[in-house]
Each structure stands twice: as structure tokens, then as C-alpha cells.
Amino acid sequence: MAKLLKKPVKLALVQLATGADKAHNLSHARSKVLEATRAGANIVVLPECFNSPYGTSFFPKYAETLLPSPPTESQSPTFHALSNLAKESGAYLVGGSIPEYWAETKKHYNTSLTFAPDGRLLATHRKVHLFDIDIPGKISFHESDVLSPGNKLTIVDLPEYGKIAVAICYDVRFPELAMIAARKGAFLLLYPGAFNLTTGALHWELQARARAMDNQVYVGLCSPARDMKAEYNAWGHSMIVDPNAAVMAQLGEDEDIVYADLNADKIEETRKGIPIYTQRRFDVYPDVSKGDVKYDGDGDDVALPQP
């Protein structure tokens, strides 16, 4: 069987301190991504809403227009900053997420852009599951007041390494996405995300480890740094989990970068030891990765229009 991960790769998650100044967020992201690639990272990830504060009142104000693709510099300064940064750093760059405005439909999205080391846009993921929750006395948040959901999974082919899946934050709670991506050959599931002090304490690590355990793949969750002066306090604790569900490395609350070296042997060893991959009973229940699955995975899925 062909290896899911063709050669060892160093992953870096940048737990960025973000604020209200978009230009500063972009230049700060640049310096941290370059720091990560100077340390040898081949894939670098930024957090959810890395160019703006996270919150429904901020999304329309910070939103950029990505379509038609490629956007002009004034339509999306972040698109151009990320594309240039991927080229400058020579790494694959999963550009966290940004608020997007689609002028044609007047809809907003929470959107992640992934760039190749030559600066080409490889994939666009629009958050599929919007973060709408109410935990009395703790947190009430309704992304759907402002945002519309994306309608596809995102699998990205990195030719030297293999396939990764990109989804955003609350998407991690829906195991189907992870399962489908893993069965379609992803070696790594990446989630730019911003859990909070309530659900972060409850479920952040558990979600990361569960997705890794169920699918026997690597998982990375990349949060903004915690800012207690902000309206929304991100959990932090960006982490990388191995295919056996062990936490390889985890940050605290402050700005920092977490690294891990990923290799094919760990996936194979895990799957050989606990061979759920060959023990599934699709005669008893259906394979969620088959049938009518909406996903991009051919490495050519630049920015498909969505309803």
C-alpha cells in the first residue's frame, strides 16, 4: 500500500496574538511564519480569524472579497499577504481563516485559504458548521447571525507530502468530516480554531485526540493566543496529536509556535497495531466516505462558488 505521507514533514502551528489592527495582524503573522520556516517548518498554520478579532460584530467590518479569484489587492489584502508569504517562506501555508464577503450573494463566510510554496492558492475552505451555542451563564454565540455556511469538505494535495484536510474550529466536532478525509487518504487534519474558556476546558484536547484516534492520522488545532482584554477569549493551547492519539506538543495561552515532526511510520505502526482500518463492517453500516460527499480534493479547487 502506498504511504499516506510520502516523506517526513515538519508542521508548525502559530498561536498568534491578534488585535484590532488588520495591517499589524498581517505583518505580525508574516514575522511568525518566517520564524517557523527558519526553524525548518514545511507546513505552517495560522489560527481562525487571524487578521481580525473574533466576533459577529467584527466579521462584516473585516470581511474581504475573494471572488472572482484571484481578487485584487484592495479586494483582499490578506489573500495577497498570504500568497506572498507562502512564496517568501517556501512553505505550505494554511492561512487560518478570515471573514469573507461574497458580493454576488451578499453573504459572509468564515474562510480558510491554503497556499503552495510558489504562492499559488491551493484550496478554499468555508466553515461548514457554524458556531451557534448557548450554555446558560457561560457562553452564547451565534455565528449564523452574520455568517453563512460553506457546503463542502476540503482535502488538499501537497504533492511532496500527501493529502491534508482543512476545516475550521467548530467543524472539528463533526467526526464525519475527519472520517471522510482520512478515508480519502489524508495523513493530517488541520483545524484553525478559537475555542473559548468554557468549551476549551471541556473539549479542545478531547476533540483533537478523538479525531486522531478514530482515524489514526495526525491532527493539528491552531488557536489565537488568549487575550483577556478582547471581547472573545480564545482558549489557546494549540496542539499536535499523533495517529495514536498522544499529544506530541501543546502550547499554553500565550503567543508561541508549536512544532512536530510527522512521519509515515507512525501512521503505519498505529494502524498495524490496532487494525480498525481493515476491520470495518460496511456490510453492517455505511461507509460515510462513499456516495454523495461534497468535497474538493484534486488540488485544483481554488475557490468554487457556493450557494
Give the interface with ligand LYUYDEPV as residue ranges (CB under 6 A): 48, 131, 169-170, 173, 193-196, 199, 203
User: In terms of CB distance, is 64 or 205 closer to ligand LYUYDEPV?
Assistant: 205
At 178, phi and psi to the nearest 5? -65, -45
The CB-nearest residue to ligand LYUYDEPV is 199
User: In terms of CB distance, is 48 or 64 closer to ligand LYUYDEPV?
Assistant: 48
CB 121 within 8 A of CB 71: no
Rounded to a whole number of angstroms, the minimum distance from the CB of residue 133 to ligand LYUYDEPV is 7
Q: Using the structure block, give the residue that is written with the C-alpha cell 499516506.
A: 4
Q: Enumerate the H helices of the chain as residue ranges.
A: 22-38, 59-62, 77-89, 175-183, 197-199, 205-215, 264-273, 276-279
**For the packed helices 77-89 and 22-38, what is the interaxial angle rounded to 10 degrees?**
20
At 9, phi and psi to the nearest 5? -140, 140
Cis amide leading into 286 (omega within 30):
no
Q: How far apart are CA 210 and CA 251, in angstroms?
A: 19
CB 200 within 8 A of CB 235: yes
Q: How far apart are CA 126 and CA 55, in angstroms?
A: 16
The residues, any chain, with a CB within 8 Å of residue 158's CB and separated by 6 or more, are 43, 92, 116, 122, 164
Q: How far apart are CA 287 and CA 199, in angstroms?
A: 30
Residue 52: name the closest of 91, 93, 108 by CA: 108
Query: Catalytic site residues?
Result: 48, 127, 169
Rounded to a whole number of angstroms, the minimum distance from the CB of residue 54 to ligand LYUYDEPV is 7
CB 176 within 8 A of CB 288: yes
Q: Which amino acid is at 195?
A: F
Q: Which residues of 37-50 are buried (b: 16+ CB within 10 A; e: fewer)?
A: beeebbbbbbbbbb
